[in-house]
């Protein structure tokens, strides 16, 4: 699978990913983010998604630039991609810079373009509880819920806040029980699940802070 990320020509280096997904009816989780840097928490969520949601793959969508985060302190995209590939170390976790080639910066735009390109593929958006607390700040956030099923994973210090927040409250009636999470990919959106599991305390913010402290 790693080889599928390599371009065979001068076009889109993600072309083979599209070919693998298009028309196949595969179940693919999408984990978007800056990955600045990628860490074992990202991998932890991905492995949980593969198991509990019965996904064929998880794609890490390494964003060129998150619209809600400052460019200052953001590592180069190539550096973040290389780090993510080192951390992922799993044949069913695919690291990609798809958004750079689709020229998208907002989640809804990325989802819609992927759906157009990948036919019958069933995508599931993956995110930590920290993102559920602030997803209402994302552009067209309610349309994201209407476009793909969403799986939210518990994160230290965020779970209770997330479940009491605006998005969880608005979509409380269409939240599915964790015991049937394996069917989420086949659900018609809006549909979402919150998965409690062993918590992983890795944080990109803390990793960057520790690196800065070591340099100082």
- Quick: pLDDT tens for 84-121: 999 999 999 999 999 998 999 999 999 999 999 888 89
Nearest to 23 by CA among 116, 145, 146, 93: 116
For the whole model, what pTM was predicted? 0.84
Q: What pLDDT shows up at residue 25?
A: 83
Angle between helices 40-52 and 77-88 (to 10 degrees): 60
Is the confidence at residue 45, as pLDDT, over 70?
yes
Domain of residue 100 covers: 2-215
Q: What is the dihedral of CA 167, 178, 186, 49, to 10 degrees?
A: 90
For residue 51, which of 216, 197, 157 has the smallest C-alpha distance?
A: 197
Helix (H) or strand (E) holding 145: helix 141-147
Q: How many domains does the chain have?
A: 1
| pLDDT, tens digit (0-9, with 9 covering 90-100), for 185-210 | 999 999 999 999 776 555 545 443 44
Residue pair 175/205 in contact (Cβ under 8 Å)? The answer is no
CATH at residue 146:
3.40.50.620
């Amino acid at each position: 699978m790693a080889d599928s990320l390599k371009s065979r020509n001068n076009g889109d280096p993600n072309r083979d990913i599209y070919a693998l997904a298009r028309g196949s009816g595969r179940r693919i989780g999408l984990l978007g983010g800056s990955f600045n840097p990628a860490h074992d928490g990202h991998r932890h969520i991905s492995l949980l998604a593969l198991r509990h949601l019965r996904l064929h793959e998880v794609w890490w969508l390494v964003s060129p630039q998150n619209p809600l985060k400052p460019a200052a302190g953001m590592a180069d995209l190539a550096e973040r991609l290389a780090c993510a590939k080192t951390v992922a170390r799993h044949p069913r976790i695919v690291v990609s810079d798809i958004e750079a080639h689709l020229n998208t910066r907002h989640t809804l735009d990325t989802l819609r373009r992927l759906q157009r390109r990948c036919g019958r593929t069933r995508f599931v958006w993956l995110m930590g509880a920290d993102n559920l607390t602030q997803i209402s700040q994302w552009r067209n956030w309610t349309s994201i819920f209407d476009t793909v099923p969403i799986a939210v994973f518990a994160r230290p210090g965020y779970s209770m806040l997330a479940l009491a927040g605006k998005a969880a409250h608005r979509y409380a009636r269409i939240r599915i029980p964790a015991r049937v999470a394996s069917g989420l990919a086949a659900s018609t959106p809006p549909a979402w699940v919150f998965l409690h599991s062993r918590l992983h305390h890795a944080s990109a913010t803390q990793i960057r802070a520790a690196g800065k402290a070591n340099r100082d």
